[in-house]
Structure 1
Amino acid sequence: MESGCSHYNDADSEHSRCIIHIDVDCFYAQVEMVRNPELRSVPLGIQQKNIVVTSNYEARKYGIQKCMLVTDALKVCPNLKLVNGEDLHNYRTASNKIFAVLQCWKCPVEKLGMDENYIDVTNLVQEKMKSLNVSNVTLSGHAYSEPSIDCPCGCHTRLRVTSQIASEMRKKIFEDLSFTTCAGIAHNKLLAKLICPQNKPNDQTTIFPEHGTSFMSTLDSVRSIPSIGSKTTEALISQNIVTVSDLQEASLDVLKKHFSSDMAVRLKGLSVGEDNTPVKQTGKPQSIGLEDSFKIVSVRSEVEDKFTALLQRLLVLVREDGRIPVSLRVTLRKKDAKRLSSHRESRQSQISPSIFALSNGALTVTDAGQQKLMNIIMRLFNKLIDLSKPFHLTLVGLAFTKFQERMTGRGSIVNYLMNDISVQSVLNLQNECDTSASSMDYSAVSPSSSTTTDLSDAEVEPSPKKPKKVNWIAKRRCLSKEEVASPSKLKVGELRLNSKELEKVSELRLNSRDRSLTPRASPAKDNLSDTSDSMRDCEERSCDDCPSYVDKEVFSALPDNMQKELKAMWKNPSTSEVQRSSPRTTNKAKPNTIMKYFVPHK
């Protein structure tokens, strides 16, 4: 046991951190017990295929263990109640609810699987200590070992405060969701996770920094360290490094012979409980996928049935996520007698976002859309499997791997600039004051390519051809006298013009320029029907510099400097066109003007 904390480097800020690791007790079983309270008092096992993946503590009294065969579990506990847990929907929902509760403390929360979370409460602890009597702070829960002396850096007090916060979090989860949890409290993620199960279930343990090395030496296998995988474990065992204590005693030079210099230093640090990795706030997952494993499937129709069932469940998860998928991946695991372990192969393809529609704020897929997805899935399957030869599969998987956010809402830029969007015709513009812009989704994602992406034969709907960029016409908007005139209240037309409308708009622009160069020129004869009245009114108004297609009321709502800028452009349109297209100015910074929004470059 170390006598103090002085060997830590405060400059790394690792010693000042306050980390909580919360793990839900027998998570799958608890979800089922919360849904059906009658299961609380009976031995309960969660079955997936022919395996009991987990059980409640009542079943563990009989000797039920994780990943035990159902047949063996029933021999040990004949009255074992089994619940099918292959559909993970309820477990994901419960996990998200727990995550939401932990976010109430406004601290970074990092999910680890569905039942574990890291929380960095360092800033919260510092705030609490300002109003606490440091000498009276007590520890909540258990301590791995009581410190012999006080650490001069103050970590003991900070961790005691952290233990109180952990107790509050666990209490909140139980009160709101009825889940019992255990917690580990430490100054880094590694020790917080490893100390967490020390007093399971429904309790918590704190470990102080000076006990890190002695605690790590009690671990039987180097595989017990979360950062060490199977290949690293094999390499260490080949050097007779089996336990964590062996790793502590191994020299750095020996490790550098088999690992990189950085990896060797990392392994030595982990063996004594040192870990500088930060808690990273968890966002939405980068991919959403499901898998189905089985003994053997060798018929294409059976594979299609498996994929159909997976797709139905996957669409439910996508609906809850809210993002629009733009890429789909198919995964297969083939049985190969020549290989000791089965291997996976995958292919992915871009999919059209138009397959997903928005209905009452939720993503939906029609039957035709689901059929398109199935066609893509089976096309990818045919690329992975040579159907002219026998095949044996033990797993199929589906995943949406890339997404685009739905960019709608009052604060979205889409409400101001609707570039490259198919919407209503320009001929349908209304002049009434209560005309409102349509709520639309904006697609601006161009998925990056991948080595496994298959775009050649995927059934992706072609996007409509983009017309040349033209001047967008602002929708009319009537402002009441009480309203404050502001350019932000002007909504740019959410338009994509068809070819006939383009001709009319182009003719309108040419005629307006002729009128600006020739005083009091007659209005264009062929103009938009719903703006003819406005053009006649504009000639009678005092704004002689305004073209006939401009709404005087909207123009007057603009600030004076914007009005001057527009008038200057209308007086000399040819100069502004030349300035925009001049090759000399292409590389120069262009001024941010209102015309950038109303008249985009061609």
Structure 2
Amino acid sequence: MDDRNMDTSSSPSFDVSHDHPKSIIHIDIDCFYAQVEMLKNPELRSQPLGIQQKNIVVTSNYEARKFGVTKCMLVTDALKVCPNLKLVNGEDLHDYRAASNKIFLLLQSWKCPVEKLGMDENFIDVTNLVQEKLKTNMDNITIPGHLYSEPSIDCPCGCHIRLKIASQIANEMRKRIYDDLGLTTCAGISHNKLLAKLICPLHKPNDQTTIYPEHGSSFMSTLPSVRTIPSIGTKTTEALISHKIISVRDLQEVPLDVIKEYFSSDMAVRLKNLSMGEDNTPVRQSGRPQSIGLEDSFKTVSVKSEVEEKFTALLQRLLILVGEDGRIPVSLRVTLRKKDVKRLSSHRESRQCQISSSLFTINSGSVSVTEGGQQKLMSIIMRLFNKLIDLTKPFHLTLVGLAFTKFQERMTGRGSIVNYLMNDLSVQSVLNITNDCDTSASSMDYSAASPSSSTTTDLSDAEVEPSPKKPKKVTWIAKRRCLSREDVASPSKLKVGELRLNSRELEKVSELRLNSRDKSLTPRASPARDMSETSDNLRDIAEGGVCDDCPSYVDKDVFNALPEEMKNELKAMWKNSSNSEMPRASTRNMNKSKPNTLLKYFVPQK
């Protein structure tokens, strides 16, 4: 135990009436990159080790830190303070990502929400797990590791006992990570994410610290800079410092009304609460990353061929990460950092576009690029580059980046089940309705409709995946076949007059027309009589359970296959038509447009 009884007389008083129901654990991996390298090569454990990216030592093991090697130190400076420093190139993040995913999966085995923060930090909300353990006999609970300060009184909400249980769970998690993965960790335990994260590194390495809610404000007052609060960024820090608010204690003591003079009301309240150690941010369960990207920084590049080489190297590494992720990318982003010689500063610009899923294939859960797919991706990358850079003028780049920013979980290419279902949907309907345009749907080359088969068309506005309600192929066919009439969004929106029954119905319609023509040649034939006979047939159909006596122009099998609601609608329409007074048939009446009803799909159109 670490009994750090601190003077809280100058700190804001603690309101014991507040409830503190949450139990949050923050776990941080000790010198993460260095530990991964030491697991790969155990000989490095006894040597001062630094992980190098470009000319920076991004992290080091604790042997190197004894000599004064610090995070993000220049390699030249690190070698000065530690000449025996062993440097390992850490620009390839593959092994680090793999280790991070293993830790995340292991923590999920506790069935609690886990939120990743970078590759080496995780928040775990163990509130429900603590409540379950409270149901058992939990007498004489001890706190593993350290306690920030002993409480003077017990909080009436019962948070002390809950945080004691949470500290035991944290100890179990850390032990499991070490036993299964060989990695040491530190942990912070509190009632919110802010205090859990900030208290975590207090006793590094390979240890843990618990802090009670009543000590939150006193602990925050010891932080030297407002920048140490995770939610406060660089610009906010600069704004606070410009108004003589430097330390967290300064932020605690300044009146809220004064802060509101410089920030919005909500922001001012937020800053004040953070300075007191108050934070109600929930632990959000992390899913798969929304984007996978890589960047390469350098002093300056001013030649297009060199930029293309760097993009090629980034793309090769990025495709490895995508292959392990198992999802199909459908959007690509290119990022450049330009150096402005006049302003002696740099700024980033990016451009992205959608890409075809047919450039990738899935085998055994792993995604790989198709033959020629990488070349197509490079063409897209360089096209985006050309949109960002005016090659007629000199340019200076200090960074290039690539990222896949959107993913889909399943294939939708030509050989996919989704594509099969879309084709099936596009050619089937209740009546097999087809269009009377000359071009046949069966003779169409569907690949022409898909942007995946084109390497010259800009894919920025291409659809990623057709909606089941509006299949892309159906849309394209409808537009090609009825271009001379009207562009339509789907076959359901085609004019009824442009639709025809299939060949089976057409034969019956032709037979009906021939019979009608023969009757018209007979002197005794009467249109009114024909309509009366038809009405009788319709009445019989409406009164029957099934269409046993369908009119000659109605296919019985098709009618019987319809849903009951549609059958009833047809029966009702036929019944109404039989009861109403039928007008005398004439050429003029036949040429008039009929109302857009379901009956029109069963009646021949002229």
TM-score (structure 2 length as normaliser): 0.72
Conservation of the 8 A alpha-carbon contact between 1:326 and 1:350: yes
Q: Is the 8 A contact 1:351 1:460 kept in 2?
A: no
- Equivalent in the alignment of 1:112: 117
Shift of 1:62: 1.3
Identity level (%): 69
- Cα gap change, 1:175 to 1:550, in 2 (>3 Å): farther
Structure 1 residue 302 and structure 2 residue 306: aligned? yes
**How many Å separate the matches in 2 of 1:413 and 1:367?**
21
Name the CA distance, whole Å, in 2 between partners of 1:382 and 1:563: 56
Deviation of 1:364 after TM superposition, in Å, equals 1.6
Specify whether residues 149 and 162 from structure 1 end up closer, same or farther in structure 2 by C-alpha distance, changes over 3 A only. same
Q: Give the Cα–Cα distance (whole angstroms) in 1 for the partners of residues 596 and 567 of structure 2.
A: 25
Structure 1 match to 2:502 = 506
Cα pair 2:189 2:210 within 8 Å, conserved: yes
Q: State which of 300, 325, 330 in structure 1 corresponds to 2:329.
A: 325
Which residue number corresponds to residue 373 of structure 1? Answer: 377
Matching of residues 313-462 of structure 1 within 5 Å: 313-339=317-343, 341-406=345-410, 418-420=421-423, 457-458=458-459
Q: CA deviation at 1:418?
A: 2.2
The alpha-carbon distance between structure 1 residues 414 and 392, as it changes in their structure 2 partners (threshold 3 A), is closer
Query: Unpaired runs of 5+ in structure 2?
Result: 1-6, 429-449, 464-471, 480-498, 513-546, 576-593, 599-606
SS of equivalent residue, structure 2 residue 171: helix
Amino acid of the residue matched to residue 170 of structure 2? A
Partner SS state of residue 87, structure 1: coil
Structure 2 equivalent of residue 161 of structure 1: 165
**Is 1:312 aligned to residue 320 of structure 2?**
no
Q: Distance in 1 between matches of 2:565 and 2:381?
A: 55
CA distance in 2, matches of 1:513, 1:566: 22
Q: Confirm whether residue 36 of structure 1 aligns to residue 32 of structure 2.
A: no
2:67 corresponding residue in structure 1:
62
Query: 1: distance between equivalents of 2:120 and 2:564?
Result: 62
Compared CA separation, residues 230 and 565, structure 1 to 2 (3 A): closer
The answer to whether the aligner puts 1:78 opposite 2:78 as a matched pair is: no
The CA RMSD over aligned residues, in Å, is: 4.0
Displacement of 1:30 after TM fit? 0.7
Q: Which residue of 2 aligns with 1:96?
A: 101
Give the conservation status (yes or no) of the 8 Å contact 2:357–2:411: no
| Residue of structure 2 in register with 1:530 after alignment | none
Q: Is the 8 A contact 1:42 1:58 kept in 2?
A: yes
Q: Is the 8 A contact 2:505 2:555 kept in 1?
A: no
The equivalences for 1:482-493 within 5 A come to none
Letter in 1 for 2:214: E
Question: CA separation in 1, counterparts of 2:271 and 2:401?
Answer: 34
1:246–1:467 CA distance, 2 compared to 1 (3 A): same
In 1, are the aligned partners of 2:16 and 2:155 still within 8 Å (CA)? no
Letter in 2 for 1:193: K
**Pick aligned residue for 1:272 from 266, 270, 276:** 276
Cα deviation 1:382-416 (Å, max 9, x = unaligned): 111111121111100011112222179xxx9969x
State whether structure 2 residue 126 is matched by structure 1 residue 130: no
| Shift in alpha-carbon separation, 1:149–1:328, aligned structure 2, 3 A | same
User: For the structure 1 residues 29 and 550, does the alpha-carbon distance in structure 2 shift closer, same or farther, using more than 3 Å as the test?
Assistant: farther
What amino acid maps onto 2:502 in structure 1? S
**Counterpart Cα distance in 2 of 1:182 and 1:260:** 36
Superposition deviation, residue 508 in structure 1? 4.0
Question: Structure 1, residues 345-393: CA drift from partner, whole Å, max 9, x if none?
Answer: 1111121121112234422212411111111110111111111121111
Q: Does residue 1:199 correspond to 2:239, yes or no?
A: no
2:15 alignment counterpart: 7
SS at 2:352 equivalent? strand
Contact 2:333 2:403 in 1 (8 A): yes
Which residue identity does 2:390 align to in structure 1? Answer: D
2:201 corresponds to which letter in structure 1?
P
Q: Report the counterpart of residue 178 of structure 1 in structure 2.
A: 182
In structure 1, the gaps of 5 or more residues are 426-444, 447-454, 470-502, 517-542, 576-580, 586-602
Alpha-carbon distance in 1 for matches of 2:505, 2:160: 75
| Aligned AA (2:70) | Q
CA contact (8 A) 2:16 2:156 kept: no
Partner deviation per Cα, 1:217-237 (whole Å, 9 max, x = no partner): 100000010000111111111
- The one-letter code of the counterpart of 2:81 is V
Identify which range, 503-512 or 294-303, moves more after superposition. Answer: 503-512
Equivalent residues of 1:513, 1:570 under 8 A apart: no
**Conserved? CA contact 1:372–1:459, under 8 Å:** no
1:272, 1:388 → 2: CA distance?
Answer: 55
Q: Distance in 1 between matches of 2:574 and 2:190?
A: 70
SS in 1 for 2:333: strand
Structure 2 counterpart of 1:208 = 212
Partner residue of 2:253? 249
- Report the TM-score when normalising by structure 1: 0.72
Q: Is the 8 A contact 1:2 1:210 kept in 2?
A: no
SS in 2 for 1:363: strand
Shift of 1:276: 0.6
Cα deviation per residue 1:229-255 (whole Å; 9 max; x = unaligned)? Answer: 111111111110100011111011110
Q: Kindly tell me the number of residue pairs found equivalent between the two proteins.
A: 486
> Match of 1:24?
29
Which amino acid in the other structure matches residue 192 of structure 1? A
